[in-house]
Amino acid sequence: MRKAHNIYKSEKLIRIMLEYDEIKNTISSITISGDFFLYPEEALEILEANLVGKRLEKETLKQEIDNFLKGIEVYGFNSTSLTEAIVGCRT
Amino acid sequence: MSTIRYDKIRTVETGFNSAALNMAIDEALIESVSEVPILRIYGWRPAAVSIGYFQSMNEEVDVPKCREVGVDIVRRLTGGGAVLHENELTYSFISRRYPQNIVESYKWICDAIVISINRLGFDASFVPLNDIVIAGKKVSGNAQTRRKGVLLQHGTILLDVNVNKMFSVLKVPSEKLRGKIIKDVKERVTSLAGTTYDDMATSLKTSFAVKFEAKLIADTLSIEEISRARWLTERKYSNKEWNFRR
């Protein structure tokens, strides 16, 4: 298990705290924080839970985030920037 | 654009309180608001840092420094960034009737704030999503949440600004860039220097009455609201579980 951290500047600042399985290349736990707005607020925890177990690669994550954002209003990031922020933890 | 009007607005001036109690009162008012919307006006004593709902306290705030200099810390119910609350007027507007579109609803309330600032001789304007600026510099930041059919928007109107103090209690993403970040913020933020809290409060109330064509009903918190706010202060806004949850 490996811990990683990334700060990514989208329209707002996104901070990612990540634990991932290096061998399987999957997310073990993730916390997304920052000065963005997201309605309803509680939905972010659902996204974080949904990302656990997902492969740490752009296509998988972007698809998951795109699906999540369908019922959500976000100001400060989009699926592309959030995906970049998460994948950026590995580099 | 919304044509929502109110017959009455309940105004509640709760004075200067701790950060935990201030956020607890906001939540209590979300729960208690009737068909008559509420305009709450308040300040912070001691000075306080509030962080956005999605922010990490330890990433954003120098917590030991806050304790050392007597600055409160609290997590808000609303998104957005970290704010040092000192030398400002804070308002909350709580309503069951509001534009459903988020961008429109910010403008709808911020227009009243803009009117209140301009009544005092300034030339402010709204910049979506949630800022009010004078000559391109931010003078008011605003944030909203919607819970159980109720909208709460709160925001600060800066009466003075001390960027150096702000960054003595806020962390920056890169210590190397601290000097540049402080310089940038100094260039991007302004205040209504020379305006008193009481002048701003009076102008704000008048402007909400004008904007929404409403009669103002001066009121205080009810016993039930105070009781609920005290409970929320003790059980939520003073607690690590809430303030450090991210």
For residue B174, name the pLDDT band (cuts at 50, 70, 90): confident
pLDDT tens column, A2-54: 999 999 998 899 999 999 999 999 999 999 999 999 999 999 999 999 999 99
Q: Measured between alpha carbons, how far is A5 from A88 in angstroms, rounded to an integer?
A: 9
Query: What whole-number distance in Å separates Cα of residue B84 and Cα of residue B208?
Result: 25
Q: Please, is B112 exposed, middle or buried when counting C-beta atoms within 10 Å of its C-beta (0-12, 13-18, 19+)?
A: buried
- Are B102 and A41 an interchain contact pair (Cβ–Cβ within 8 Å)? no
Question: Taking the CB of residue B215, how many other CB atoms lie within 10 A of it?
Answer: 10
The answer to whether B21 touches B226, Cβ cutoff 8 Å, is no
Our CA-based measurement puts residue B204 at a distance from the nearest CA of chain A, in whole angstroms, of 25
Query: According to the model, what pLDDT value does residue B1 have?
Result: 59
- CATH T-level topology, domain B8-243: BirA Bifunctional Protein; domain 2 (3.30.930)
Cβ-based neighbours of B183, under 8 Å, separated by 6 or more: none
The domains located in chain A, with CATH, are 2-90 (3.30.390.50)
Largest CA distance in chain B: 54
The pLDDT of residue B173 is: 77
> Is the bond preceding B128 in cis, omega lying within 30 degrees of 0?
no
Query: pLDDT, tens digit, for every residue of B34-55?
Result: 999 999 999 999 999 999 999 9
Q: What is the reported pTM?
A: 0.95
Let me know: does B52 contact B76? Beta carbons within 8 Å. yes
Question: Which of A37, A39, A48 to mutate to test binding with chain B, by most B CBs within 10 Å of its CB?
Answer: A37
Task: Spell out the domain ranges in chain B.
Answer: 8-243
Over range B199-224, report the average pLDDT: 97
Chain A, window 5-64: residues with a beta carbon less than 8 angstroms from a chain B beta carbon: 7, 12-13, 15, 17, 31-41, 44
